Amino acid sequence: MTIPLSQLELEKIPNEPGVYLYKDARGEVLYVGKAKDLRARISSYFRSGYLSPKVQRLLDTAKELEYILTRTEKEALLLEATLIKKYRPKYNILLKDDKHYPLIRINLNEDYPAIQVVRKRKKGDKALYFGPFTSAKAIREILKLLSKIFPLRRCTLAEMRRRRAPCVYYQIKKCLAPCVRDVPREEYAKLVQGVVDFFQGRARGLLDKMRAEMLELAERLEFERAAFLRDRIQELEEVLNKQAVVLSTPEDFDLWQAKPEDEDLYLIVLFVRIGYLYGFQPFRLKKPIEEEGTLKSLIIQYYSEEKVIPDKVYLSWQEENREELDLALSDLAGREVIVSPLPKGEEYSYLLEIAQKNLEHFRLSQLRKEKPWHDGLAEELAKLLRMPDLPRFVEAVDLSQYAGTARVGAIVCFFEGEPDKTRYRHYHIKSEGRDDYSMLYEVVYRRLRRGLEEGSLPDVLLIDGGKGHLQTALQAAEDLGITEVALAGVAKNEKRAPEKLYLPGRKNPVFLPKHERVYRFIWRVMEEAHRFAKSFAEKTKEKLDFSSELLDSIPGLGPRRKKTLLSHFSSLDELSQASLEEIARVPGFNLSLAKRIKERLTANEQK
């Protein structure tokens, strides 16, 4: 049923399972969702309260709502995957799986079955399928070796019927040529069963059978056939030695691991067949509109793309209403499929660790494509600064002033190589000192003290200056008992380009241009710190100039006293909020002068 959103009556929507579709003015599907209770789910979009920006954009664009009732949640889950595949809606997460990994197909219903490498499983096909194999090269190598052990035909059925003479594979003993030779079906069936045993994890037992048969042939003095078996045994042992066993039992299952991060959702699925790890497939997706049931929907999307579904699917997380996923996957597979949390045990823990490591490696590889920080820059900076861990937050301090007035400090922050302006800070200098060192000490001390209080200390703090400036910053950190922040002084040349990097405990500075990527990064950070400090000093100077004009012509307040007053109070607002006693305590002032200043400020506010 399709309803214009302007005419939607929530109380008329059934409390039943189903699928709903949001559409725009042209009828294009924007979003497909499923629900165990349609009324409850759709109503959640229209309750008063916070809606994420993505959901708000969806509701602003949508003009119609269509819903389809299903008998069970399982049917809703399957229908949702079908509709997402059909419409590819803008606001749904699409598991874009354009990789169809190789599968091995063997049709036992043929008189002389062949080993076929295919990319998709045909729906309703009764042939045996093994895989998926994530490395096409690896499967080619395995089949190359298996062809020596089990010389099955390579050609298609049509080619086999047309052939009048054996092909080259017969000449090199990699095919028995059933196309033109009278090959006993029982003998050929043994070879086929050997391949099946190999892919079903019974290769060790197969070796025992082949050894026993070889000895029997030798006793009957059939040395040529015994030698043929001997060579096949050696080749099979070579193949088995190359395979990595991860389980002591020959299990078939897929293991799913998920990792949400910022605006992304990372997924990985490990393929374990007959106790061997065949490979894995990672995904990077945008975070969904709805968190509930998202992973379940993505798994259905994945397996509905003509994938091989194993007997078991393990999840590394607790999934609510897991039974519906069981039923949906069983429906797709045409047999019972069990979905459950990953069992406990050392072997399964090892597999989970493999999944986590490979997912993290995939996440970083994706980020490296977008940010140089993840492509070795963080490692280079950590090595240069002699840090035990990779930095993420890098801050820089710069100072600015105009002839002793508008004395300010500024701190900029870069997170993973990019500016994070939410962590930029500026400071009005409160101390009496006019030199760089006293001003720097105050700014660094205030920044680090606040970082201790809020738990927001940077990993690296760059100081604009040389060895003396670095020592001042180190003193501020020492006075606060802080040792975990890496401090470095950045000395510039006459062209204001960073040139030398002074490090604690190192006598000679590092010549930055030798470390090109770090050099460019530090230059960028220091330029941003300088820009931020200078712009703030200019704004402060403008305010002070206005304040200076306002204080002109007050009896007893000459140029020297006015400069002292404006240096003591960082802004006109601060001066206005100060009490008479606070103004009177400024050196060279008294209560009478403080009263005249307050009267002038009050008169200005009334204007």
Domains annotated on the chain, with CATH: 2-87 (3.40.1440.10), 253-368 (3.30.420.10), 380-540 (3.30.420.340), 552-606 (1.10.150.20)
pLDDT of residue 94: 74
Residue that the structure tokens 């490990």 belong to? 270
Beta-bridged to residue 116, according to DSSP, are 105
pLDDT of residue 423: 92
pLDDT of residue 23: 93
Name the residue among 395, 399, 422, 418 with its Cα closest to residue 410: 399
Beta strands in 403-546 (DSSP E): 405-415, 418-419, 425-428, 460-464, 486-492, 498-502, 510-511
Tell me which of 210 and 296 has the higher pLDDT.
Answer: 296
> pTM here?
0.53
CA distances from 32 to 66, 75, 77, 88 (A): 10, 14, 11, 9
Sign of the CA dihedral running 245, 249, 254, 260? negative
Distance, in Å, from the CA atom of 173 to the CA atom of 44, rounded to the nearest integer, reads: 68
Name the residue among 443, 445, 436, 429 with its Cα closest to residue 569: 429
Share of the chain above pLDDT 70, in %: 88
238-292 per-position pLDDT tens digit: 655 555 556 777 788 999 999 988 778 899 999 888 777 777 889 888 877 666 7
Residue 387's pLDDT band (boundaries 50, 70, 90)? very high
Averaged over 376-383, what is the pLDDT? Answer: 90
Averaged over 335-354, what is the pLDDT? Answer: 90
Q: What is the DSSP string of 373-419?
A: GGTTHHHHHHHHTT-SS---EEEEEEEEEETTEEEEEEEEEEETTEE
On the question of pLDDT at 460 being above 90, the answer is: yes
Beta-bridged to residue 132, according to DSSP, are none
| Contact yes or no for 408/428 (Cβ under 8 A) | yes
Distance, in Å, from the CA atom of 242 to the CA atom of 203, rounded to the nearest integer, reads: 13
